């Protein structure tokens, strides 16, 4: 039975990158064809460049996505290694193909604000799925890696710079108003990507500084069934050693944790901070 489960998990692990890229590209196509392309909202990336060329020279968006990636694939393969290319092949092919195949999809709104928001949401969901599967849609992701390699800029700075150039170009070709809507869409997309990759399950990291560390740790282990890590600290004023307890709990468990701590020692010092993703026993598995 265990052998069969391992085989199944191995197959799933092998096909997930392709499946995730396919599903992600399909979702991205919905956002592009139903909201962004018809409303001239070029929210960065190679797809944004494709929208500009489509409305200016009637060049198909899918063709721009495909052709723009060819020199990037060649350069990435030469300077960065083939792993960068392999990760992007499936996502790039699926996206460019779906954008053209599903060109018949209806335009759901001509309201620019609605198109920016909903197009950004759907595009973010699609990109999030691609990234979660370990893939990429190439384009600006590869370009940013090349810029980092040649000029030393960080990936985030490079992506921001490329997107800014494309949106600025949209402002020159279309209008400043459409460029501002593209910025809204880009912002929404980035937030949704984070949501898809991290989820809504925000947890809390709690640091507890107390003179009754062992007793509090046992209570947390027993009452909340949560793990506790004991860190060694020293009081800056007193110079005395203190136990610092680190415990990660769900939002719903924060009140119970504070009650446990203050029932044992009301003078304990507790720091609670947001944690966007927790992997491990009792939480999500990687």
Which pair of tokens denotes residue 152?
Answer: 């030393």
The residue with greater pLDDT, 57 or 227, is: 57
| 72-127 confidence digits (pLDDT tens) | 889 888 887 787 787 788 889 999 999 999 999 999 999 999 999 999 999 999 99
Domain presence at residue 60? yes
* Together in a domain, 106 and 224: no
* Together in a domain, 248 and 216: yes
* Together in a domain, 130 and 239: no
Last residue of a domain, one of 140, 168, 198: 198
Domain presence at residue 31? yes
For the segment 261-271, the average pLDDT, to the nearest whole number, is 88
Contacts of residues 73-77 at CB distance under 8 Å and 24 or more positions apart, as own/partner, are: 73/138, 73/142, 75/142, 75/146, 76/142, 76/145, 76/146
Domain presence at residue 285? no
Distance CA 78, CA 67 (A): 18
pLDDT at residue number 29:
97
pLDDT at residue number 119:
97
Most confident by average pLDDT, 61-65, 89-93, 191-195, 234-238: 61-65
pLDDT at residue number 177:
96
pLDDT at residue number 155:
64
CB 239 within 8 A of CB 166: no
Domain presence at residue 283? no
The residue with greater pLDDT, 50 or 160, is: 50
* Together in a domain, 188 and 248: no
**pLDDT over 70 percentage in the chain:** 88
Distance CA 165, CA 163 (A): 5
- The number of distinct structural domains making up the chain is 2
* Together in a domain, 98 and 149: yes
* Together in a domain, 263 and 144: no
User: What are residue 231's phi and psi, to 5 degrees?
Assistant: -105, 150
* Together in a domain, 163 and 124: yes
* Together in a domain, 139 and 164: yes
pLDDT at residue number 238:
77
First to last CA, the chain: 23
Residue 10 has pLDDT above 80, yes or no: no
- Partners of residue 204 on adjacent β-strands: 249, 274
Exposure string of 131-141, with b = 16+ CB inside 10 Å and e = fewer, is bbbebbbbbbb
Residue 1 has pLDDT above 70, yes or no: no
pLDDT at residue number 193:
85
| 131-183 confidence digits (pLDDT tens) | 888 788 888 878 887 887 888 777 667 888 899 999 999 999 999 999 999 99
The rounded mean pLDDT for the chain is 86
Domain presence at residue 247? yes
Residue 12 has pLDDT above 70, yes or no: no
* Together in a domain, 71 and 91: yes
pLDDT at residue number 62:
95
The residue with greater pLDDT, 59 or 265, is: 59
pLDDT at residue number 104:
94
Alpha helices by DSSP H, listed for 220-281, are 254-264
Quote the pTM value.
0.76
- Of the candidates 241, 253, 255, 247, the one whose C-alpha atom is nearest the C-alpha of residue 210 is 241
Helices 112-132 and 2-31, interaxial angle, to 10°? 160
Residue 281 has pLDDT above 60, yes or no: no
The residue with greater pLDDT, 246 or 234, is: 246
CATH number at residue 227: 3.30.70.120
Which pair of tokens denotes residue 82?
Answer: 């083939």
Exposure string of 90-117, with b = 16+ CB inside 10 Å and e = fewer, is bbbbbbbebbeeeeebeeeeeebeebbb
For the chain, the C-alpha Rg in angstroms (whole number) is: 24
Last residue of a domain, one of 198, 231, 253: 198
Distance CA 59, CA 105 (A): 18
pLDDT at residue number 284:
53
pLDDT at residue number 32:
97
* Together in a domain, 65 and 166: yes
**pLDDT confidence band for 285 (50 / 70 / 90):** low
Cα atoms found within 13 Å of the Cα of residue 231, Cβ hemisphere only: 11
* Together in a domain, 170 and 189: yes
Domain presence at residue 268? yes
pLDDT at residue number 76:
84
Domain presence at residue 284? no
Q: Tell me 212's DSSP state.
A: T
pLDDT at residue number 224:
84
* Together in a domain, 168 and 214: no
Cα–Cα distance list, 214 to 95, 209, 248 (Å): 55, 11, 17
Last residue of a domain, one of 141, 174, 198: 198
3-class secondary structure, 283: coil
Task: Give the strands of the sheet with 203-210, arranged side by side.
Answer: 229-234, 241-250, 203-210, 269-275
Q: Which residues neighbour 70 within 8 Å (Cβ) at sequence distance 6 or greater?
A: none
Domain presence at residue 213? yes
Residue listed under structure tokens 């282990």: 221
Residue range(s) defining the domain that contains residue 118:
2-198
Which pair of tokens denotes residue 136?
Answer: 């990429």
């Amino acid at each position: 039975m265990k052998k069969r489960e391992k085989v199944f998990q191995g197959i799933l692990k092998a096909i997930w990158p392709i499946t995730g890229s396919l599903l992600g590209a399909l979702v991205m196509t919905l956002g592009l064809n139903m909201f962004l392309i018809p409303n001239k909202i070029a929210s960065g990336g190679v797809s944004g460049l494709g929208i500009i060329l489509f409305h200016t020279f009637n060049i198909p968006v899918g063709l721009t996505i495909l052709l723009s990636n060819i020199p990037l694939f060649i350069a990435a393969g030469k300077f960065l290694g083939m792993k960068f290319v392999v990760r992007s092949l499936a996502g790039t092919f699926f996206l460019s193909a779906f954008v053209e195949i599903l060109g018949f999809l209806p335009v759901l709104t001509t309201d620019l604000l609605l198109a920016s928001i909903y197009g950004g949401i759907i595009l973010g969901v699609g990109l999030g799925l691609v990234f979660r599967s370990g893939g990429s849609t190439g384009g600006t992701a590869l370009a940013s890696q090349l810029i980092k390699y040649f000029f030393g800029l960080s990936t985030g700075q490079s992506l921001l710079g490329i997107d800014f150039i494309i949106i600025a170009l949209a402002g020159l070709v279309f209008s400043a108003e459409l460029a501002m809507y593209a910025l809204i869409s880009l912002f929404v997309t980035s937030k949704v990507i984070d949501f898809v990759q991290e989820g809504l399950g925000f947890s809390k990291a709690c640091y507890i500084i107390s003179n009754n560390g062992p007793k509090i740790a046992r209570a947390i282990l027993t009452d909340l069934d949560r793990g506790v890590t004991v860190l060694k600290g020293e009081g800056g004023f007193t110079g005395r050693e203190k136990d610092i307890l680190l415990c990660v709990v769900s939002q719903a468990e924060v009140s119970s944790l504070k009650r446990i701590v203050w029932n044992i020692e009301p003078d304990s010092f507790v720091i609670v901070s947001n944690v966007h993703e927790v992997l491990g026993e009792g939480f999500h598995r990687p």
